[in-house]
Amino acid sequence: MPIEALKQHTTRRLRILWIVLGALLVVSITPLWLYHRQVLRLSEEKLQDTERVQQSEITRSLASETLQFEQNLREQLLSQRQVLSLTGWIENVDDPAHAPQLARLLQSFVENNQNILYVTAVNQQAKGQSAGSISADQDPFVGGALKRAFTASIQGLNFVSEPFALGKNNRPALVVSVPLSLNGQFTGMIASVVSIDRLLERIRDASVRERTVFIVDGHGHIVAHPDSAEVVPGRDVTSTSPVVGHLKELPQELRATETMHFIEQDKNGHPVEMIGTYSTIPELGWTVIAERSIDSARIDAGVKELTAQALSFVVGVTLVALLFGYLFALGITRPIRGLVESVRAISRAEFHERVRVEGAAEISELAETFNHMAGDIEEYVERLKQAAAENRELFLGSIRMLAAAIDEKDPYTRGHSGRVAKYSIIIAEYMGLESEDIDRLRISALLHDVGKIGVDDRVLKKPGKLTDEEFDLMKQHPSKGANIMRPVAQLKDMLPGIELHHERMDGAGYPYGLAGDQIPMMARIIAVADTFDAITTNRPYQSAMDLEFALGRIRSLAISKFDPNVVAALDAAVASGRLRLTAALVEV
């Protein structure tokens, strides 16, 4: 090449370089900077909106749980009142003729409910029987609350006391009572001292990342607070919480759920911008409140880190733009390399990969066509994934409905299949089973009693003990269930759990008398979960037993009936708190 031509070529290349670099700097940095500022503003708004939504969800959820907690306690007292009415003791609960039986009844009531610390049943003269771990005579708060409860019972009213602190640990508690009456005449009262530790635990679980959640009564007194050592039950927080102060100023009919901004002083006297939300519980006159500083929400959401990262990103993009501008000015090879890399990404099923549309017209057109093709492929794959997920959910939904229909045949087993499936999954996870095996176990456990469809209702719903002939009919349900499901090819791997969950390790089970390793692991797990639920729920032939009794019974049958490894996994799940008794059908 002649020297003059070489100089001309070099000059032309430098001029293109500077034009490309300048254009890239303007096009890349300016929009990014404007976008960064807009994102920060929107992030701040989104941050506060998110915090409002989270606080509303937390307070409403806790309000619902609190009301349910109180209603459950009242239902239990009403149940005890029904027992007194049926036995005839309601006429005079202090009658010496049935005092021992009543004392045992009350003691059993306390022992079977961890929330009940003390229960008493008294007659018209406030005399009667009691049971529990505290003494009403020694604690003035308890004694005063019980007197107010008795006064309300005389008027025929149910009663819930204001909260008070028990013992040195300021354990939050309250008194719940219902009146006793016979033929419309007041005969006494049954009342209990209730620990609200369960609500306190939920409040502490919700009070994370510098968010404080607490419950107050209609007078602005603390019912439960995560810092129970400093903020004891019964403390008036009207003057220290602007949310409580605002709430007390509102008419009762306007109290529902509201989020508000306010300024609070920190320990050093500096103003702190806060967000607070309250949700009322009209039935109790209580309110659940959540408070959090906006600064802590910013830190939690990473707004400051976002600013620093955005600045670093702008600097990085500038350097990248300079580098790519120089490379693009040298030739058109890089777009081609980018196209090659994108093709390789598509071959690895990374359909989100796109080609940078740069270079000559032909290359740009090719890149655009490729991007359009990749977009179509990605959209098609996503539709396939969505269809597969919907089909799976439809399949599992059908299984759940079938299991629910089976359980509905017998009122004593309502929710049984769902609980067995839940317990089976937890046991399998503690045994280290693979996720695919656990999925098959879930479906098998849900359908383990499907054969009961073929069992005569007179046998299935018989309230008493089955005869030998009836029990032989009942023992056919595993085989019937397997026969029902066998034509469904997708359920082939689930059949062992349906057909063999009543086999025993010692070979004394049914329907085939298999023993030891002849019994698939799926059936061994369902057998333990099935027995565990049967022992801990009410059945025609027994009342529900507590957790420790169920574990002891199952341990005693290890080796003879159950696989010791499965029993050990059940023990571990219970000890860790992962497996708990539940009376409701659980989505699995």
> Residue 16 has what pLDDT?
46
Do residues 462 and 409 touch, judged by C-beta distance below 8 A?
A: no
> Residue 427 has what pLDDT?
95
Among 293, 314, 331, which residue terminates a domain?
331
- Same domain for 161 and 301, yes or no, is yes
> Residue 9 has what pLDDT?
44
Interatomic CA distance for residues 50 and 145, integer angstroms: 41
> Residue 340 has what pLDDT?
61
- Same domain for 418 and 320, yes or no, is no
Tokens representing residue 163 in the block? 């909260």
Question: Do the domain assignments include residue 550?
Answer: yes
Question: Do the domain assignments include residue 346?
Answer: no
Q: What is the DSSP string of 389-426?
A: HHHHHHHHHHHHHHHHHHHHTSGGGTTHHHHHHHHHHH
Q: What 8-state DSSP symbol labels residue 250?
A: S
Number of alpha carbons in the 13 Å side-chain half-sphere of residue 203: 25
Among 331, 363, 389, which residue terminates a domain?
331
Our count of domains for the chain comes to: 2
Question: Do the domain assignments include residue 244?
Answer: yes
- Same domain for 147 and 43, yes or no, is yes
> Residue 523 has what pLDDT?
93
Phi, psi dihedral angles at 255 (to 5 degrees): -85, 120
> Residue 437 has what pLDDT?
93
Residue 386 identity (one-letter amino acid) = Q
Question: Do the domain assignments include residue 261?
Answer: yes
Cα angle 299, 303, 305 (rounded to 5 degrees) comes to 90
- Same domain for 429 and 318, yes or no, is no
Q: CATH no. for residue 248?
A: 3.30.450.20
Tokens representing residue 317 in the block? 């993009």
Interatomic CA distance for residues 151 and 154, integer angstroms: 5
- Same domain for 426 and 560, yes or no, is yes
- Helices 333-347, 303-330: axis angle to 10 degrees equals 120
Question: Do the domain assignments include residue 487?
Answer: yes
Three-state SS letters, 417-479? HHHHHHHHHHHHHHCCCCHHHHHHHHHHHHCCCHHHHHCCHHHHCCCCCCCHHHHHHHCCHHH
What is the domain extent for residue 498?
A: 409-575
> Residue 339 has what pLDDT?
63
> Residue 249 has what pLDDT?
77
- Same domain for 56 and 189, yes or no, is yes
What 3-state class would DSSP assign to 172?
strand
- Same domain for 315 and 414, yes or no, is no
Among 331, 351, 368, which residue terminates a domain?
331
Question: Do the domain assignments include residue 371?
Answer: no
- Same domain for 416 and 540, yes or no, is yes
**In 3D, which of 554, 576, 575 has the Cα closest to residue 565?**
554
Cis peptide before 96 (omega within 30 of 0): no
Alpha helices (H) along 288-302: 294-301
> Residue 160 has what pLDDT?
87
Q: CATH no. for residue 475?
A: 1.10.3210.10
Question: Do the domain assignments include residue 348?
Answer: no
Tokens representing residue 528 in the block? 């333990």
Tens digit of pLDDT per residue, the chain (588 long)?
A: 444 444 444 444 445 456 666 666 676 667 766 766 676 677 677 777 888 888 888 888 888 888 888 888 889 889 988 988 888 888 888 888 888 898 899 899 888 888 888 999 999 998 988 888 787 666 788 888 889 999 999 998 998 888 888 877 777 888 999 999 988 899 999 999 988 888 888 888 888 888 889 988 888 888 888 887 778 888 888 888 888 888 777 776 556 778 888 888 777 778 888 888 888 888 888 889 898 888 777 676 555 666 666 667 667 767 776 676 666 655 545 565 666 666 666 666 666 666 565 555 556 666 677 677 767 777 777 777 776 666 666 666 667 666 666 666 665 567 888 899 999 999 999 999 999 999 999 989 988 888 888 887 777 777 777 888 888 888 888 988 889 888 888 889 989 999 999 999 999 999 999 999 999 999 999 999 999 998 998 876 678 888 999 999 999 999 899 999 999 999 999 999 898 876 443 444
- Same domain for 119 and 256, yes or no, is yes
